[in-house]
Structure 1
Amino acid sequence: MLAWLQNPGWILIGAGLIQPLLPYRLRAGLLVAAPAAAGAWLWSLPRPTLVTAELLGYTLTPLRLDPLAFVFALIFLIAAGLCGLFMLRVRGRLEPAASLVYAGAAVAAVLAGDLITLFVYWETTALASVLVILANGPGTYRVSLRYFLIQVTSGLLLMAGAIAYIRVTGDPGFGAIGLQGLAGWLIFLAFGIKAAFPFLHNWLQNAYPAASPTGTVVLSAFTTKLAIYALARGYAGTDILIPIGAVMTAFPIFYAVIENDLRRVLAYSLNNQLGFMVVGVGIGTELSLNGTAAHAFTHILYKALLFMTMGAVLLRAGTVKGSELGGLYKSMPWTAAFCIVGAASISAFPLFSGFISKSLILSATAYQGAWIVWLVLLFASAGVFHHSGIKIPFFAFFAHDSGIRCREAPWNMLLAMGITAVLCIGLGCYPDPLYAILPYAVDYEPYTGGHVLTQMQLLLFSALAFTVLMRTGIYPPELRSVNLDFDWIYRRALPAAAAAARNATVSARGETIDTLCRLGDRAGHYLGRAFSAQGLLARTTATSGMVAWVSLLLAAYLLFYYL
């Protein structure tokens, strides 16, 4: 048991379990103190560290700290601390406690060195995260149920794949897996669900905007990035990830442009950014894996910052619909400024954090000669600036004046947003501390004339396109609407098709039974006539005639038997 408790994630899990029992001030203190304590413990551990334990005849690894695990565990703990500060004033007991357990399970999963331990924490993140959503009230029940079913499906696939993998190899260790055999494909699909692969992504857009203003920030940080870590650990260099990631970067752009709910816009842009990381894992070189780890690090920060700003807007204005907002910079100037920092970071402006991480992946793609994928990534970079870099701050804080006048965000939210914004700018201006902890040695300079010029041209032309579309009235207006995504297939089309098939089956069964009844009645009528006193079978027949009938029946039987 002591071997498992050496994992720093257990500090957060333990804090989350006892938190509901404490008075409000102690509960609020734990939200910040627990991540700080876990971070100090993580930093004090030597790298590499390997802790093993025997269970049921297998050698498990409750703690494996190497450079790849360290990067993800560190940013998870930083995110947990910032989320805790952001939700400091939440009076409810469920959401803060579930958030701590959720973050702790994610940290513990990153530091797990075997598939069995990974599965336990994988399912713990699913259970805790669904409680984060449910904490927003009974109106989230249906969304939470769908989310939970999808997350549990991912866990079941991971369990089945792990069992198959251990039976083949005899070793539960979590390392390079690949797509050889059924086990590899099952585990790959489990990771793909949590990474929101195309056609498996709608749980993200459905669940994240359903959470509370604070809960959405927590959800944005852990689940999908845990899946990216798992892919980097088990499937680095798997070619199929390159086209999957390229599609992930491109298709959300079209939905984000027409989406009215700004938190759903951010959820689609989350898909877009995950695609860059998946491409980096698929390329599998040291530069691309460094890019994946760095981009996960910076993405957690600037995406959390953007969700924080929209959470603050929802808290104060009561809505995040683009059609209902505008002019909020007058009431919430600090929130507007922090939103612009997050928008510049996700758009990869030079001197902001997204630039120093995304350029690693773009360069790795170009070095591999994957020019079509590189062009797709460039298109996706322009698209994310279009819908997250411009649309989010423009329609929320500027655009037309909606007439909404409200108070600025609470002090703890402003402090959390301010710290996150400072990190986004600091890493963008001075990336060396991040580069120093990446899995491989970094020999890369993001601020070259070519990198900066290419990115600025891309951003300026994207801004010009947005301006022209807005001025000419071509840009899709912000309307109250419901956009159909792939989930329409399994939420509407498949149930409707199943209902139609069931109704057709019931109708066909009724008609079949009626037909058989009519045939039975007719057969009974003819048999009654045949066996009646005046019927055919009541007549006297000559012996020779009976012999002929028996011979015919015997011949027919033999014919059917031998055929």
Structure 2
Amino acid sequence: MFEFVLPPAFVMLIGAFLVAVSRRGLRPVIALAAPLVTLYAIWQVPDGIQLTATFLGYEVQVVEGGPERRLFATVFAMMAFGGILFAFRQAKWYELAAAMAYAAGAIGVSFAGDLIVMFLFWELMALFSVIVVWAGGTFGSKRAGIRYIIMHLLGGIILKVGIEGIMVHTGSVEIRPLALDNFDTWLVFIGILVNAAAPPVSAWLSDAYPQSSPTGSVFLSAFTTKTAVLAMMLLFPGQPLLIWIGLWMVFYGIIYALLENDIRRILSYSIINQVGFMVVAVGIGTELALNGAAAHAFAHIFYKALLFMSAGAVIYQTGKNKCSELGGLYRSMPLTTICGTIGALAISSFPLTSGFISKSMTVSAAADMHMAFVWFMLVAASAGVFLHAGIKFPWFVFFQKDSGLRPKDPPWNMQAAMVLMSVICIGLGVFPQLLYGLLPYPVEYVPYTPDHVVTQLQLLLFAGLAFFVMLPMMKRTLTVSLDLDWFWRVAWVELFRLVERGLNRLRVGLAALSTGLLQRINRELMRHHGAEGVLARAWPTGSMLLWVAVLLAGFMIARYA
């Protein structure tokens, strides 16, 4: 029997370090083995506090086990393996190492026993995730990475101040449900929502994720927002404000994804939409709702990774990332098309996929609590999800018009990763108890009832009909949809141009003023000292003697006065 000794996050961190220092031939073996060893270590962590340490004079709880913690850590380790399988032959070594350290941070947050440890791993995620963004290697990725880290440092500072306030005022850093009844808990609440990409700061996600490499966006899609969901489950379950924030996120993601042209920006907005469902579930706060949030987070990580993998494979093989540049790829990329379609069906909650057995738990939880408006909005949003991710993404990328591109399916490791994610998406849909058995509360929910299946199929068929009826209105253009990023894409640029124009006008004005002043001085000098000036004339000797006498007399008077 394995005795718990080392925190699972440290196992992944050691793997990241070994990947960074190992030789090229050994690097894939270490990278693929580390998540599996980490997964084994995760399942050796019993419930309760397992490891403490002293940090800055405080006794901190480095590892605390629990069902929801184990669930999230499990999916993070599995996602790390799938992402590495997809990336290890194409990604740069430092991107792989950073992605593993990023996953280690997410696993560390999952098992954090107090707010201090949670914050340390929280910032570890921010540090290494920005390296994953920068690994895109373009000018755009560098700029997006800077904006990304500024936003996350801001969120981290807000979270840190809130934690410090709780420490000072309560003397405890225990992770427990908090009420929004003081300034400290509000700061913690806001800091977590920043990582969840909640409004009004949702734009950082759709700004940064598409700028990473085709492999990097797979990792980015999995960890940051889901750790925020776990933090909300542990700290703010049943907070009614989360219901309305979540609904905003749900429809925000749908609207912006429908307007978008870049395939990875479509999927990035879709992350915000899907996290919105989880946030609503946490806000409802019942056992069924919290099970729904955990189940949906688990399922979402896999089908969203599958969608980003298929998008990354297309970008890797074609160099194109716009819907308007793609189409007809099913002819030459059949496996990618099939896997991408499976991911699209899963995110749309199609029966026999993972999305069907997870998202419906939140909708049912709203119905059980007689929240008619919330239930109606979630059902309507389910149709919207099918529009932007279930149909729009595969239709414009793999079908619609023939773009003339004939790329092959990507290298074998990318294909293997997509097949693995597809098997998980279908496997969880066919055998829901594989997931339900991991949830934090006992599950009595039955997803496959005639009413539920028929209702969902009717909803999807109606959404599909609406999509093809409105297809002529959905012509893609080479534009970028703006939200809060208007400030740095438009306002900041215009402000810079305004300041630049003002400085140019000031420079021209000062130049004209100085030129006029110098000309005036020159005229005065020439009037007195020029060839015809007063002081340049030939004066009679008598006049000179007279002026000398006047000056001498003036001097003598001044001297003896």
- TM-score bin (small chain): 0.7 to 0.9
The structural deviation recorded for 1:507 is 11
User: Is this contact kept in 2: 1:4–1:62, CA < 8 A?
Assistant: no
- Aligned pair 1:108/2:105, yes or no? no
Closer, same or farther: CA 238–495 of 1 in aligned 2, 3 Å: farther
The structural deviation recorded for 1:483 is 1.9
The structural deviation recorded for 1:52 is 2.2
The structural deviation recorded for 1:353 is 0.3
Alignment-derived partner of residue 463 in structure 2:
462
Closer, same or farther: CA 507–115 of 1 in aligned 2, 3 Å: farther
Superposed counterparts of 1:422-437, under 5 Å = 422-437=423-438
Alignment-derived partner of residue 360 in structure 1:
361
For 1:376, the aligned partner's letter is M
Superposed counterparts of 1:80-99, under 5 Å = 80-90=80-90, 92-99=92-99
Closer, same or farther: CA 309–502 of 1 in aligned 2, 3 Å: closer
Q: Distance in 2 between matches of 1:499 and 1:157?
A: 32
Alignment-derived partner of residue 482 in structure 1:
480
For 1:486, the aligned partner's letter is L
Q: Deviations over 1:427-467 (max 9, x none)?
A: 00111021011011111101111111111111010011112
- Aligned pair 1:145/2:146, yes or no? yes
For 1:441, the aligned partner's letter is P
The structural deviation recorded for 1:418 is 0.4
Q: Distance in 1 between matches of 2:430 and 2:81?
A: 23
User: Is this contact kept in 1: 2:4–2:45, CA < 8 A?
Assistant: no
Alignment-derived partner of residue 407 in structure 1:
408
**What secondary structure sits across from 1:221 in the alignment?**
coil
The structural deviation recorded for 1:199 is 1.4
Q: Deviations over 1:63-104 (max 9, x none)?
A: 011011011000000100000100120352210010110001
For 1:186, the aligned partner's letter is L
**What secondary structure sits across from 2:61 in the alignment?**
strand
Q: Deviations over 1:286-312 (max 9, x none)?
A: 000000000000000000000000000
For 2:249, the aligned partner's letter is M
Q: Distance in 1 between matches of 2:505 and 2:159?
A: 41
Closer, same or farther: CA 477–12 of 1 in aligned 2, 3 Å: same
User: Is this contact kept in 1: 2:49–2:61, CA < 8 A?
Assistant: no
User: Is this contact kept in 1: 2:95–2:132, CA < 8 A?
Assistant: yes
**What secondary structure sits across from 1:59 in the alignment?**
strand
**What secondary structure sits across from 2:25 in the alignment?**
helix
Q: Distance in 2 between matches of 1:370 and 1:494?
A: 42
User: Is this contact kept in 1: 2:18–2:30, CA < 8 A?
Assistant: no
Normalised by the length of structure 2, the TM-score is 0.87
Closer, same or farther: CA 502–163 of 1 in aligned 2, 3 Å: farther
Matched residues, percent identical? 44
Q: Distance in 2 between matches of 1:144 and 1:121?
A: 19
- Aligned pair 1:33/2:43, yes or no? no
Structure 2 segments unaligned to the other structure (5+ residues): 510-561
The structural deviation recorded for 1:372 is 1.2
For 1:435, the aligned partner's letter is Y
User: Is this contact kept in 1: 2:7–2:41, CA < 8 A?
Assistant: no
Closer, same or farther: CA 400–69 of 1 in aligned 2, 3 Å: same
**What secondary structure sits across from 2:62 in the alignment?**
strand
The structural deviation recorded for 1:135 is 1.2
Q: Distance in 1 between matches of 2:254 and 2:55?
A: 47
Q: Which moved more, 1:261-270 or 1:3-12?
A: 3-12
For 1:109, the aligned partner's letter is V
Alignment-derived partner of residue 516 in structure 2:
none
The structural deviation recorded for 1:498 is 8.7
Q: Which has the larger radius of gyration?
A: 2
**What secondary structure sits across from 2:386 in the alignment?**
helix
The structural deviation recorded for 1:177 is 1.9
Q: Distance in 1 between matches of 2:272 and 2:5?
A: 34
Q: Deviations over 1:313-335 (max 9, x none)?
A: 00001112111111111111000
Alignment-derived partner of residue 182 in structure 1:
183
The structural deviation recorded for 1:234 is 0.5
- Aligned pair 1:43/2:43, yes or no? yes
Alignment-derived partner of residue 230 in structure 2:
229
User: Is this contact kept in 2: 1:59–1:172, CA < 8 A?
Assistant: no
Superposed counterparts of 1:57-206, under 5 Å = 57-90=57-90, 92-139=92-139, 140-206=141-207
User: Is this contact kept in 2: 1:250–1:379, CA < 8 A?
Assistant: no
User: Is this contact kept in 1: 2:4–2:44, CA < 8 A?
Assistant: no
Q: Distance in 1 between matches of 2:445 and 2:481?
A: 42
Alignment-derived partner of residue 542 in structure 2:
none
Alignment-derived partner of residue 323 in structure 1:
324
User: Is this contact kept in 2: 1:126–1:148, CA < 8 A?
Assistant: yes
Q: Which moved more, 1:176-185 or 1:339-348?
A: 176-185
Closer, same or farther: CA 425–259 of 1 in aligned 2, 3 Å: same
Q: Distance in 2 between matches of 1:322 and 1:466?
A: 16
User: Is this contact kept in 1: 2:95–2:216, CA < 8 A?
Assistant: yes
**What secondary structure sits across from 2:162 in the alignment?**
helix
Q: Distance in 2 between matches of 1:179 and 1:490?
A: 32
User: Is this contact kept in 2: 1:19–1:97, CA < 8 A?
Assistant: yes
The structural deviation recorded for 1:48 is 4.1
Alignment-derived partner of residue 310 in structure 1:
311
User: Is this contact kept in 1: 2:47–2:64, CA < 8 A?
Assistant: no
The structural deviation recorded for 1:57 is 3.9
For 1:479, the aligned partner's letter is T
Closer, same or farther: CA 209–136 of 1 in aligned 2, 3 Å: same
Q: Distance in 2 between matches of 1:91 and 1:258?
A: 30
User: Is this contact kept in 1: 2:303–2:343, CA < 8 A?
Assistant: yes
The structural deviation recorded for 1:47 is 3.2
Superposed counterparts of 1:205-216, under 5 Å = 205-216=206-217
Normalised by the length of structure 1, the TM-score is 0.86
- Aligned pair 1:53/2:53, yes or no? yes
Q: Distance in 1 between matches of 2:95 and 2:202?
A: 24
**What secondary structure sits across from 2:276 in the alignment?**
helix
Q: Distance in 1 between matches of 2:116 and 2:129?
A: 20
Closer, same or farther: CA 205–441 of 1 in aligned 2, 3 Å: same
The structural deviation recorded for 1:505 is 12
RMSD: 2.2
The structural deviation recorded for 1:122 is 0.6
**What secondary structure sits across from 1:209 in the alignment?**
helix
Alignment-derived partner of residue 556 in structure 2:
none
Superposed counterparts of 1:212-361, under 5 Å = 212-361=213-362
For 2:268, the aligned partner's letter is A
Alignment-derived partner of residue 516 in structure 1:
none
Q: How many residues were matched structurally?
A: 506
For 1:20, the aligned partner's letter is A
For 2:92, the aligned partner's letter is G
Closer, same or farther: CA 4–491 of 1 in aligned 2, 3 Å: farther
Closer, same or farther: CA 62–494 of 1 in aligned 2, 3 Å: same
User: Is this contact kept in 2: 1:265–1:387, CA < 8 A?
Assistant: yes
Closer, same or farther: CA 93–7 of 1 in aligned 2, 3 Å: same
Closer, same or farther: CA 367–405 of 1 in aligned 2, 3 Å: same
Q: Distance in 2 between matches of 1:506 and 1:478?
A: 39
**What secondary structure sits across from 1:162 in the alignment?**
helix
Closer, same or farther: CA 506–457 of 1 in aligned 2, 3 Å: same
Alignment-derived partner of residue 539 in structure 2:
none
Q: Which moved more, 1:309-318 or 1:45-54?
A: 45-54
Alignment-derived partner of residue 18 in structure 1:
18
The structural deviation recorded for 1:490 is 5.1
Q: Deviations over 1:384-408 (max 9, x none)?
A: 1001000111111111111101121
Q: Deviations over 1:226-260 (max 9, x none)?
A: 11111111000111000000111012212111211
The structural deviation recorded for 1:419 is 0.8
The structural deviation recorded for 1:5 is 7.2
Q: Distance in 1 between matches of 2:174 and 2:496?
A: 42
Q: Distance in 2 between matches of 1:31 and 1:171?
A: 38
